[in-house]
Amino acid sequence: MTAGLRSRRTADVPALVDQATEGNARAVARLISLVEDGSPALREVMSLLAPRAGHARVIGLTGSPGVGKSTSTSALVAAYRRRGLRVGVLAVDPSSPFSGGALLGDRVRMQDHATDEGVFIRSMASRGHLGGLSWATPQALRVLSAAGCDVVLIETVGVGQAEVEVASLADTTIVLLAPGMGDGIQAAKAGILEVADIFVVNKADREGADQVVRDLRYMQSLGTQSPSQAKVDGKWVAPILKTIAAKGEGADDVVEAIERHGEWLAATGELAARRTRRAADEVEAIALTVLRERIGDLRGGDALGLLARRVVDGELDPYSAADELVAAVTG
Amino acid sequence: MTAGLRSRRTADVPALVDQATEGNARAVARLISLVEDGSPALREVMSLLAPRAGHARVIGLTGSPGVGKSTSTSALVAAYRRRGLRVGVLAVDPSSPFSGGALLGDRVRMQDHATDEGVFIRSMASRGHLGGLSWATPQALRVLSAAGCDVVLIETVGVGQAEVEVASLADTTIVLLAPGMGDGIQAAKAGILEVADIFVVNKADREGADQVVRDLRYMQSLGTQSPSQAKVDGKWVAPILKTIAAKGEGADDVVEAIERHGEWLAATGELAARRTRRAADEVEAIALTVLRERIGDLRGGDALGLLARRVVDGELDPYSAADELVAAVTG
């Protein structure tokens, strides 16, 4: 039964990829499921997708819980749709409404009924079985880009390393803040000054919004003197915009800022550099997984066990044992 | 200067290892520093140590902050010293008093003045540059075991995955609890029932200690019916002991329980199994690091960059690029 299911799926792959590149929402959803599941069919999927990779602009959206990431994403989607662009959304955030199975189900079903809708929304588990954001997200990006998305928004909660990860995946990273959340201090702590290409202060009608803007400007004024900022080519200084996402106010300004950043990226060669770095990270992660699996296969057999027993008995030190293991893997 | 320092160090390695195996505290400290630094000399160190690996019993001590881990460790050290045994302590806990540079410095200096003291105490950063506890700790264990320690205590705070990691390194794992910390619920949550070979309820003179014991017994009664408990050979049921570590009360009972567990480990073959598993984990971790370094070397060159650009241009999918990278690493 399982074998039958697998072979059926594998047989479907070229057809699925064709349908996905024609913009079929169900096919897109199934391909992203293959990505999330780490399916063996992924090799074939990625091989078929490579020549039709598309040219989606990848926008990262990050911020602390409560700053209005989902609302801002919705407002941006609406702004892009008004421009007639196709938009993909990857919500990598367990606390986001997009991640709610039911709501997401509704949206997916809605797309099934209107495949020309021009919006793909997908929630992804923040930590996949193979290392999370950095592993699965680039491949989901490929699927959405090949499906004809002009823009893909990756929305993720800015906690821990997530905002650094999303910045490494995105062409343009937007850091969202909101008044009354101690964001000024938080910003300095988490090093978001380093990752932000655009700052958006949301909930700008609330008290303290101007103070957040002033805090950011002050930190930027310090930051431009630091070596890590000085190394930026052509001196992109992240603009600070104000929005009221719940009312849709300011979303067009954000889209314009993204476009200006895109022009800067292209003019300085930074776009190619970022995308090459991203691909190198992805290739390296896959290669390490392949090597880890080979070691795992050896572990399933007796080779590693024999080496380990010799280490326990003091016949072999762990480095020499590792050398033998590496030789077995690479032999 | 740096090259001179390195060659001097490398030349010292056989002498250092000789001194360490004779129990010289300064030599032991320097070898563990090499471990922590991931020094290139480690290969030589481990190769020299392998035939004189020693036979230290490895005891893991874990528990939430505030249960009295450091006090309990001190009480156990005293109990072992009364039996005339040599004891090593690895405190892998940033919040532990042992980790305080000054105090540790004092203890190390104290040892330098009395190398026959029979106690080595060493704090280690909980997360090293190569993956932390699971990487550096086994090698530090080797050093202490070769230095003639009969017992090595690994003390670590039971947060996140730490207690699982310490259990994977230890022959016998002690889980410490204390009244009034909601430990009952915590225990069930963190799965410490699975890792504990011995439970110690510390601060037994405080209100609620008996309730903690009853909660543990109740959870054990549920646990023994679960498949994961049933698989344990020879049915070791973790004893539940009460101590007042601050007064040294109960430490001898804990040492006796450790001895009984040691007899059980030997009788069932579980000791050899645990140590082989530990060595296999260590060898695997080193092998993966070697492979990661080889990829890193390629990244330093242009091979990965070229592959990445072909991925960006859609000439190559990331899996095929990874295959080429793996071939380059293993060729």
- Sequential DSSP letters for B67-124: S-HHHHHHHHHHHHHHTT--EEEEEE-TTSGGG-HHHHHHHHHHHHH-TTS-EEEEE-
pLDDT score recorded for residue B108: 40
**Which residue from B51, B283, B326 is facing A322, i.e. has the nearest CB?**
B283
On chain A, the residues whose CB falls within 8 A of the CB of B322 are 283-284, 286-287, 290
Q: Does A185 touch chain B (CB under 8 A)?
A: no
pLDDT score recorded for residue A205: 96
Q: Mind telling me how many Å the CA of B325 is from chain A's nearest CA?
A: 7
Strand B151-157 versus strand B119-123 pairing type: unpaired
CA–CA dist B155, B72 (Å, integer)? 10
Nearest by Cα to A254 from A175, A185, A193: A175
CA–CA dist B42, B63 (Å, integer)? 31
- Among B284, B298, B325, most A C-beta atoms within 10 A, so best to mutate, is B284
Determine, for residues B47 and A287 on separate chains, whether the beta-carbon distance falls below 8 Å: no
pLDDT score recorded for residue B218: 85
Determine, for residues A283 and B299 on separate chains, whether the beta-carbon distance falls below 8 Å: no
Restricting to B residues 92-151, those with a Cβ less than 8 Å away from any Cβ of A are: 138-139
CA–CA dist B164, B146 (Å, integer)? 25
Residue pairs between chains A and B whose CB atoms are closer than 8 Å: 153
Q: Mind telling me how many Å the CA of A163 is from chain B's nearest CA?
A: 21
**Which residue from A276, A284, A304 is facing B283, i.e. has the nearest CB?**
A304
For residues B172 and B254, the answer to whether their CB atoms sit within 8 Å is no
State the DSSP H helix or E strand holding residue A261, giving kind and residue range, or none if neither: helix A251-268
pLDDT score recorded for residue B160: 56
Q: Mind telling me how many Å the CA of B72 is from chain A's nearest CA?
A: 29
For residues B88 and B144, the answer to whether their CB atoms sit within 8 Å is yes
Residue-wise pLDDT tens digits, A203-246: 999 999 999 899 888 888 876 544 444 444 568 999 999 999 99
pLDDT score recorded for residue B296: 76
**Tell me, what DSSP letter sits at residue A115?**
G
Q: Does B11 touch chain A (CB under 8 A)?
A: no
Determine, for residues B287 and A52 on separate chains, whether the beta-carbon distance falls below 8 Å: no
Q: Rounded to whole angstroms, what are the CA distances from B300 to A216, A231, A280?
A: 36, 20, 12
Counting as low any pLDDT under 70, the low residues of chain A are 1-11, 93-117, 125-135, 158-164, 182-191, 223-234, 299-301
Determine, for residues A283 and B330 on separate chains, whether the beta-carbon distance falls below 8 Å: no
Domains delineated in chain A: 53-267 (3.40.50.300), 284-330 (no CATH)
CA–CA dist B290, B281 (Å, integer)? 14
pLDDT score recorded for residue A107: 43
For residues B90 and B133, the answer to whether their CB atoms sit within 8 Å is no
Determine, for residues B276 and A326 on separate chains, whether the beta-carbon distance falls below 8 Å: no
Q: Mind telling me how many Å the CA of B56 is from chain A's nearest CA?
A: 12
**Which residue from B46, B305, B322 is facing A319, i.e. has the nearest CB?**
B46
CA–CA dist A255, A82 (Å, integer)? 11
pLDDT score recorded for residue B55: 86
Nearest by Cα to B298 from A130, A323, A287: A287
Instruction: Report phi then psi at B72, rounded to 5.
Output: -65, -40
| Residues shown for chain B | 331
Counting as low any pLDDT under 50, the low residues of chain B are 1-9, 94-116, 127-132, 225-232
Closest chain B residue to the Cα of A275, Cα to Cα: B312
Q: Facing residues of A240 across strands?
A: A199
Determine, for residues A291 and B288 on separate chains, whether the beta-carbon distance falls below 8 Å: yes
CA–CA dist A177, B136 (Å, integer)? 40
Look at residue B314 and give its three-state secondary structure: coil
**Which residue from B308, B315, B329 is facing A276, i.e. has the nearest CB?**
B308
